[in-house]
A = this chain, B = another copy of it.
Amino acid sequence: MARPKALSGFPEFLPAQRIVEQAVIDLLRETFELHGFAGIETRAVEPMDALTRKGEITKEVYVVRRLHAAPDEVGDDVGLHFDLTVPLARYVLENSGQLNFPFRRYQIQKVWRGERPQEGRYREFAQADIDIIGEHGLAEHHDVEAPLVMLEALEKLHLRLGLPPVLMHVNNRKLSEGFYRGLGIEDTAAVLQRVDKFDKIGPAAVHELLMDELGLSDQVAAKCVELATIQAPDDSFAARVHDLGVRSEMLDEGIDSLVRVINAARTQVPGRMLADLKIARGLDYYTGTVYETELVGHEPLGSISSGGRYDSLASDGKRSYPGVGISLGLTRLLVPLLGRGALAASRSVPSCVLVAVDAEETRPVAMSVAAALRARGIACEVAPRADRYGKQIRYADRRGIPFVWFGGVQGEVKDIRSGEQVGADASGWQPPAEDLRPGVVTAS
């Protein structure tokens, strides 16, 4: 076999990079579980009709078929899921009788999209989603809860693993829609669509689109643009909206809801959330709070974590399931940071200790040292060959293993970074806590 080339759009990590990804996943899982979210996994495939319901995403679906399927074989009409929301909706309907609502679930899995690969676009990538799903209704305080759980996780990634901090931009669909209605606009979705282009084309161009395409008056279009420019790290945005002189009940509801989110965030994760009234989240099915998140210093990446409130995730005719959720683009976040070396693992293997082997005949001695260390949670491996010690030390060094053990259970252990070698007992010796497991290190 000739040396294979990487498949474009299907990123893979080297072992040391995977250690970083695993550390990130572990921290996400820990945070989500502390908040009572149950982990699930769903199968990789969904029926094609479920995947193609959302018109605009159709083109990106990967169809899956048995190589030797008969041409008319039925029941195999499936494709790879392109997000974790379609599978969740199906899972909730399929298992509704065995789930307890509100159902709090997290899900960390790969998804697939048949996109043309380009910078920041992947054909296979991992997502980490949390959602809270109600039966019939779902209290509005979950709109506050969901983004705060994700922000708490992102803040831990920053403080504990050294990832860049984030800034979450939050709006509320009711606020925008209520405002437009207060202005007498009926097709509020059309306005949202134009406002969604704010960051790309700028306020003047949005103003023009609103007049040219939707026939809004100069004054009304100006109000819409003014609303979209409002940003605040606190609830002062509310006064600025009021100052625009527009009134509607839905607007007040939206403002109140957003005030609650912003105030809770200011207490719990200060400095990480911004009320940003231009956030629209495209044509999606959101009906209340909406979130987008940028990685500070890496804004061109786009939003690494988005979501919002939806009034109907799924419905089986009798019951409907409203929800609120937020998704983290794990691959989108990590590939650039790992690729640039901004994040790395302190070593490429879990091993904290390499147990040296004197001679093949004494390999069992080395194995008993390793067993004694492992019994106390210290990862180690036994040298594969009884080479001269210098070569065994290089084996450890190349992998970043910090310690080499010589002799038996009563032996000596060398920190190969400092060169210091001391007598030690494998049934009691403990490495420094920071060396026990591979850590995540930052380049800066």
Complex contact A41–B62 (CB within 8 A): no
- For A348, the closest partner residue in chain B by CB is B38
A389 contacts partner chain B, Cβ-Cβ < 8 Å: no
Asked if A35 is at the interface (CB within 8 A of a chain B CB), the reply is yes
Does A158 reach chain B (CB closer than 8 Å)? no
CB distance from A50 to the nearest CB of B (A): 8
* CB-CB contacts below 8 Å: A37-60 with B: 37-45, 47, 50, 52, 58-60
Does the CB pair A105–B12 fall under 8 Å? no
Q: How many angstroms from the CA of A415 to the CA of B197 in the assembled complex? A: 53
**Contact between B18 and A40, CB atoms less than 8 A apart:** yes
Q: Are B67 and A114 in contact (CB under 8 A)?
A: yes
Whole-angstrom CA separation of A380 from B316 in the bound complex: 31
Given contacts A41-B12, A112-B44, A385-B139, contact A6 B349 (CB under 8 A): no
Interface stretch (choices A91-99, A219-227, A236-244, A292-300) = A91-99
CA distance A90 to B317 in the complex (A): 48
Q: Is the CB of A381 within 8 A of B4?
A: no
Choose from B3, B10, B44, B317 the contact partner of A316 (Cβ within 8 Å): B3
Q: Looking at the complex, which one of B13, B59, B60 makes contact with A40 (CB distance below 8 Å)? A: B13
Q: How far is the CA of A98 from the CA of B100 in the complex (A)?
A: 48
Q: Are A44 and B41 in contact (CB under 8 A)?
A: no
Instruction: Tell me which residues across on chain B come within 8 A of A11, comparing CB atoms.
Output: 43
Cβ of A36 under 8 Å from chain B: yes
B12, B45, B67, B93: the one contacting A79 at CB < 8 Å is B67
Within 8 A of B (CB), among A381-406: 381, 384-385, 395, 398-399
**Contacting residue for A114 out of B69, B110, B139, B371, CB 8 A:** B69
- A36: which B residues are within 8 A, CB to CB? 349-351, 379-381
In the complex where A40-B13, A349-B36 touch, is A1 in contact with B384 (Cβ < 8 A)?
no
Chain B residue nearest in CB terms to A87: B12
Q: Does A200 contact B (CB under 8 A)?
A: no
Whether B58 and A67, one on each chain, are in contact in the complex, defined by CB atoms closer than 8 angstroms, is yes
B58 touches A94 (CB 8 A): no
Q: Is there an interface contact between A317 and B15, defined as CB atoms closer than 8 Å?
A: no
A152 to chain B: closest CB distance in Å?
9
**A436–chain B nearest beta-carbon distance, Å:** 11
Please, which residues of chain B bring their CB within 8 A of the CB of A40? 12-13, 15, 18
Closest residue to A400 on the B side, CB-wise?
Answer: B100
Per the bound structure, the CA–CA distance linking A35 and B42 in Å amounts to 30
Most chain B CB atoms below 10 A, which of A41, A52, A99, A380: A41
Cβ-neighbour of A141 out of B139, B348, B363, B398 (below 8 A): B363
Bound-complex Cα distance A10 to B46 (A): 10
In the assembled complex, A273 has its CB within 8 A of some CB on chain B: no
Residues of B within 8 A of A380 (CB): 34-36
- A142 in the interface, Cβ–Cβ < 8 Å? yes
Docked Cα-Cα span, A5 to B90, in Å, equals: 9
Most buried by B among A65, A98, A268: A65
Considering only residues 195-232 of chain A, those with a C-beta below 8 Å from chain B are: none
Assuming A14-B95, A64-B80, A124-B43, is B314 touching A1 (CB within 8 A)?
Answer: yes
0/1 interface trace, chain A 63-100, chain B, CB 8 Å (1 if under): 11111110000000011100000000111011110111
Please give, as numbers and ranges, the residues of chain B lying within 8 Å of A47 by CB-CB distance. 4, 7
Shortest CB distance A27–B (Å): 13
- A60 vs B360: C-alpha distance when bound (angstroms): 44
- Known: A1-B89, A44-B112, A62-B64; 8 extra A-B contacts, CB below 8 A, are A1-B315, A4-B93, A4-B94, A12-B91, A34-B350, A36-B349, A36-B381, A65-B65
13 contacts between A and B (CB under 8 A): A1-B89, A1-B314, A14-B98, A34-B377, A35-B380, A37-B350, A44-B80, A60-B67, A61-B66, A62-B66, A63-B65, A65-B65, A100-B348
